[in-house]
Amino acid sequence: MTQGDQRIVVIGAGMAGILAGIKLQEAGFTNIAIYEKADRIGGTWRENTYPGLTCDVPSHHYTYSFERNPDWSRHLPPGAEIQAYFERTVAKYGIERLLHCNREATSAEFSDGRWRLGFRGGGSDEADILIAATGVLHKPKYPHLNGMERFRGHCFHSARWDHAVALEGKRIGIIGNGSTGVQIVSALAGKAAFLEHYVRTPQWIMPVENGYFSAEERAAFRDPKVLEAAMRFEEYNAAVERYTMAIVDMESEGAREMAAACLANLEQNVADPVLREQLRPDHTPLCKRLIFSPDYYQAIQHPAAALVTEDIQGVEETGIRTRDGRLHELDIIVLATGFHPDTFMRPMHFRGRNGVELETLWADGPRAYLAVTLPEFPNFFMLNGPNGPVGNFSLIDIAERQWHYIAQLIDRIARGECDEIAPRREAMEEFERARVAAARNTVWYRGGCDSWYLDRNGIPSSWPWSYSRFLEAMAEPDWEAFECIGRDRGE
Ligand code: NAP
């Protein structure tokens, strides 16, 4: 097989799968397929369509580094613009011809040096190299609320928004105050007849600007130098570094600054002292994923909005009953209750070399060497895999850095230096020991809160070091950590 002839299969056509397709094409690979279970590309930005959907990473930083977008309308990108940006990018880079939509991969097994894939509804494919770009937060988490089936109004998860249901004139209850719930409340306060926000654990809110770019600014951004000067990409990376240091070191200056900004936001922007106390969190800022919002406090103080901190006792035919015995009559209940964060490629059935099952490897929770590779799973690479950096910054940047690393491993296969490449088991175990030890020092672990960052053992499942350490780790593989098997040479 000559360089570039390898069959490469990418699973998932969200932000990361599109990136993989573009980069593989650019590297000269000609035999690529991207399988997508849905009917179109977009991942998170296809599935989430709730009112107020916005990415809280600034627009120009939530952009592929090789495909800048001068046309972002606002400081924070609206979800629909992000989806349109990915669709445009797919068309521009000719990715459509690699795409197979409505094609859900259900199994992948490594045998005789190749990955063999099975699909829902039948059919198969084979690959020399397999890439999982299946996303992280894609399986909605539904709460167990007594009597939910009795509700006569409309009830849906934030990621399954029912657009057939009109909102005007309706009484809407929104359960959950993660980034999603906060964005929905901000969008709907004043539009619904009445809106109630059910908050079990108050969250810290970081203020953020979300102005519009003027037509002149957008025109000027067509010049990459102007864009670079306006967005100061390097400076932004310094801010990301400060943010990660605040997670790693709760006593750091950055941690104190962010805590002070959140506190001032609450103190200065919530007028009623009772409401202010109800909104005051009891954990350290950054313990849960920090919420950036320009307008949540204004929204919850709207005359047609109310905060409900009383526990939910159950759902009845006409609304939600809280523990104080009050029935809150509602037409619509929105479950902004988050996602199962440990799904990754599953429910796909994965089997690596020597019959090693993914479920066995992940019996104690998802793990991977540096979030991208797995022992006994040769020529298999993950973008945004387990315990990778999933903090409050651009997952596009993270995926690009991971791609830089993965591309070097693929290159060794393409050049015929390795038929099979996978990390050594000891390398992953050593990485896991260090990761878990570091995770116990983070604010996610020590900050006094529960969050989706914590795995079933209570260990934060995210990159527990600084951004600069992540950049260093992704710069070049530590080749000693990898087994490179040349089948023909019997090495
Ligand atoms: P989330 O952060 O997991 O929040 C879920 C919310 O639902 C929490 O407030 C939780 O309360 C509440 N909840 C869950 N079960 C409940 C129950 N039985 N009764 C009452 N409340 C319940 O979910 P999310 O808001 O969808 O956000 C998930 C992640 O998606 C974010 O952290 C972020 O990574 C990503 N996201 C990003 C953006 C962005 O702008 N970049 C926007 C949206 C989402 P407790 O806190 O008490 O558990």
Q: Where do the H-state alpha helices sit in 66-178? A: 79-92
Distance 367 CA to ligand 1 centre (A): 23
Picking from 474, 468, 297, the residue whose alpha carbon sits closest to that of residue 393 is: 468
DSSP class of 373: B
Closest ligand 1 atom to 48 CA: 43
C-alpha neighbours within 13 Å on the C-beta side of residue 317: 0
Cα separation, 103 vs 474, whole angstroms: 31
CA of 435 from ligand 1 middle (Å) equals 24
Whether 371 is covered by a domain: the verdict is yes
Question: How many angstroms does the Cα of residue 270 sit away from the middle of ligand 1?
Answer: 22
Tell whether 330 and 376 lie within a shared domain: no
- Is there a single domain that holds both residue 67 and residue 101? yes
Closest ligand 1 atom to residue 55 Cα is: 40
Rounded distance from Cα 143 to ligand 1 centre (Å): 11
The domain tally of the chain equals 2
| 3-class DSSP assignment, residue 292 | strand
Number of residues that this document lists for the chain = 491
Tokens representing residue 435 in the block: 């990761």
Task: Give the nearest ligand 1 atom to 137 CA.
Answer: 30
Atom of ligand 1 nearest to the CA of 145: 18
Residue percentage of the chain with pLDDT more than 70: 98
Given the CA of residue 390, which atom of ligand 1 is nearest to it?
A: 34
Q: How far is CA 390 from CA 396, 435, 436, 463, in A?
A: 11, 14, 16, 7
Residue 36 lies in a domain: yes
Mind listing the pLDDT tens digit for each residue in 163-192?
A: 999 999 999 999 999 999 999 999 999 999
Residue ID of nearest Cα to ligand 1 atom 21: 176
Is the residue at 3 inside a domain? Answer: no
Nearest-CA neighbor of 134 among 26, 65, 66, 44?
44
- Residue in 146, 180, 455 to alter for ligand 1 test, most ligand atoms within 8 A of Cβ: 180
Let me know whether 170 and 62 are in one domain: no
Same domain, 238 and 344: no
- Domain assignment present for residue 2? The answer is no
Q: Which of 303, 335, 367 lies at the terminal end of a domain, its last residue?
A: 335
Residue 379 has pLDDT above 60, yes or no: yes
Do 330 and 347 fall within a single domain?
no
Give the CATH number, domain containing residue 376.
Answer: 3.50.50.60
Tell me, in angstroms, the distance from the centre of ligand 1 to residue 158's CA.
Answer: 10
Residue 64 pLDDT more than 60?
Answer: yes
Judgement on whether residues 412 and 296 belong to the same structural domain of the protein = no
Q: Are 8 and 32 in contact (CB under 8 A)?
A: yes
Tell me: pLDDT of 487 over 70: no
Q: What is the pLDDT of residues 381-430, one digit of tens each?
A: 999 999 998 778 899 999 999 999 999 999 999 999 999 999 999 999 99
Ligand 1 atom showing the smallest separation from residue 144 Cα: 18
Q: What is the pTM of this model?
A: 0.96
Whose tokens are 């790693």? That residue is 248
Looking at every residue in the chain, the average pLDDT score rounds to 96
356, 326: one domain: no
What is the pLDDT, as a whole number, of residue 393?
86
Ligand 1 centroid – CA 338 distance (Å):
4
Q: Is residue 261 part of a domain?
A: yes
Q: What is the pLDDT of residue 491?
A: 44
Atom of ligand 1 nearest to the CA of 452: 3
- The burial class, CB within 10 Å (0-12 / 13-18 / 19+), for 354 is exposed
Which of 284, 316, 335 corresponds to the end of one domain? 335
User: Based on the domain organization, do 301 and 164 belong to the same domain?
Assistant: yes
Q: Which residues line the pocket of ligand 1, CB cutoff 6 A?
A: 54-57, 137, 143, 158, 175-181, 198, 200-201, 289, 312, 336-339, 450, 452
Distance 12 CA to ligand 1 centre (A): 23
Do 122 and 15 share a domain, yes or no? Answer: yes
Whole-number Å distance between alpha carbons of 382 and 397: 15
Q: How confident is the model at residue 128 (pLDDT cuts 50, 70, 90)?
A: very high
pLDDT at 489: 47
Nearest CA to ligand 1 atom 6: 176
- Nearest-angstrom CA–CA distance, 316 and 314: 7
Question: Is the peptide bond between 347 and the residue preceding it cis, with omega within 30 degrees of 0?
Answer: yes
Averaged pLDDT for residues 358-362? 96
Mean pLDDT for 198-205 is: 98
Any residues with CB less than 8 A from the CB of 288 and at least 6 apart, and which?
178, 201, 203, 204, 449, 451, 453
Name which residue sits closest to atom 32 of ligand 1, judged by CA. Answer: 289
Query: Which residue is associated with the tokens 């495909």?
Result: 67
Q: Does 491 reside within a domain?
A: no
Q: How far apart are CA 395 and CA 15, in angstroms?
A: 9
Per-residue burial over 473-484, b if 16 or more Cβ lie within 10 Å, else e, is bbeebeeebbbb
In 3D, which of 208, 170, 189 has the Cα closest to residue 290? 208
Give the contacts of 138 (CB within 8 A, at least 6 positions apart): 43, 44, 47, 159, 339, 343
Specify the ligand 1 atom closest to the Cα of 177.
9
Report helix, strand or coil for 69: coil
Residue 9 scores a pLDDT above 90: yes
Q: How far is the CA of 50 from the centre of ligand 1 (A)?
A: 14
Q: How far is the CA of 204 from the centre of ligand 1 (A)?
A: 13
- Is residue 490 assigned to a domain? no
Whole-angstrom distance, CA of residue 88 vs CA of residue 92: 6
461 plus 447 within the same structural domain: yes
- Chain centroid to Cα 453, Å, comes to 11
* Residue where one domain finishes, among candidates 277, 303, 335: 335
Mutate to test the pocket of ligand 1, among 145, 179, 206 (most ligand atoms within 8 A of CB): 179
Q: Are 122 and 64 members of one domain?
A: yes
Considering only CA atoms, which residue is closest to atom 25 of ligand 1? 178
Same domain, 246 and 328: yes
- Residue whose Cα lies nearest atom 10 of ligand 1: it is 176
Domain that holds residue 217: 148-335
Q: Is residue 307 part of a domain?
A: yes
By mean pLDDT, which of 34-48, 328-342, 444-458, 477-491 is the weakest? 477-491
